[in-house]
Structure 1
Amino acid sequence: MKLITVIVKPFKLTEVREALSAMGIQGLTVTEVKVFGRQKGHTELYRGAEDVVDFLPKVRVEAVISDDALEQAVEAIEEGTRTGKIGDGNIFVSEIVEVIRIRTGEMSGDACNPHFYDDVSTS
């Protein structure tokens, strides 16, 4: 199993979600983050004073997927988010050693299915 972590511009979140949903991946974690990278930030005027904004808003999307779906998922995310301009984001791939579903005690493959994140109505 792999953990894909995607850092993209907030308006590209829909494209990432749709690309992964089309593959049957439904369990996503989305976090609003601020990043500093090659974009370097920008200058804003706030109450008449110039303010340098170094950290830019992005979203971080995480999904656990099977090894055999990795290449397809990465390609789908790239196609949906690439503009060719600086700040398109990054995709990080990590190895998952173990997954345990707290509610049931299921481990690894059993715990990591298309419904990885429990629906509130099932508790």
Structure 2
Amino acid sequence: MKKVEAIIRQEKLEEIKAAIDKDFEVNGMTVSQVLGIGLQKGQTTHVRGKEIVTSLLPKVTVSFVLADEDVNHVIDLILNICQSEDFGTGKIFVYPIEEAIRIRTGERGEAAIS
């Protein structure tokens, strides 16, 4: 099992959700609103003639715990929706999962995520 975690722009979340519902049977997804800074180095705006630099930009983290064979499909789906040449597009991280346990039933391993 693997955890796929994608930090993406907020406006891409609905597209990701729709694509997951349409193209792929995922039994769970966790979404968190986060703030972050990367190569984009923040954003400069002007309010009433004053320059305001926002260094921590709002993003969304979308996480999936998947069977190993489903990981590349979800990564490709995220890339197809979110990839652009712009700074601040996001990152995808993949982590190994040692164990998953469904608290309600006590099921373990892939049975707990399906």
Residue 26 (structure 1) shift: 3.5
Q: How many angstroms apart in 2 are the aligned matches of 1:32 and 1:38? A: 19
For residues 97-108 of structure 1, the aligned pairs below 5 Å read 97-108=98-109
Percentage identity across aligned positions? 38
Matching residue of 2:19: 19
Q: Deviations over 1:24-80 (max 9, x none)?
A: 013110000001011111234457754321000000000111111111111111001
* Aligned partner of residue 70 in structure 1, secondary structure: helix
The aligned length equals: 113
Q: What are structure 2's unaligned runs of at least 5 residues?
A: none
Between stretches 34-43 and 3-12, larger displacement belongs to 34-43
Aligned-residue Cα RMSD (Å) equals 1.6
Task: Compute the TM-score of the two structures, normalised by the length of structure 2.
Answer: 0.89
* Aligned partner of residue 78 in structure 1, secondary structure: helix
Q: Deviations over 1:67-123 (max 9, x none)?
A: 11111111111001112211111110001100011111111111111xxxxxxxxxx
Q: What are structure 1's unaligned runs of at least 5 residues?
A: 114-123
Task: Compute the TM-score of the two structures, normalised by the length of structure 1.
Answer: 0.83
| Structure 1 outlier segments of 4+, above 6 Å | none
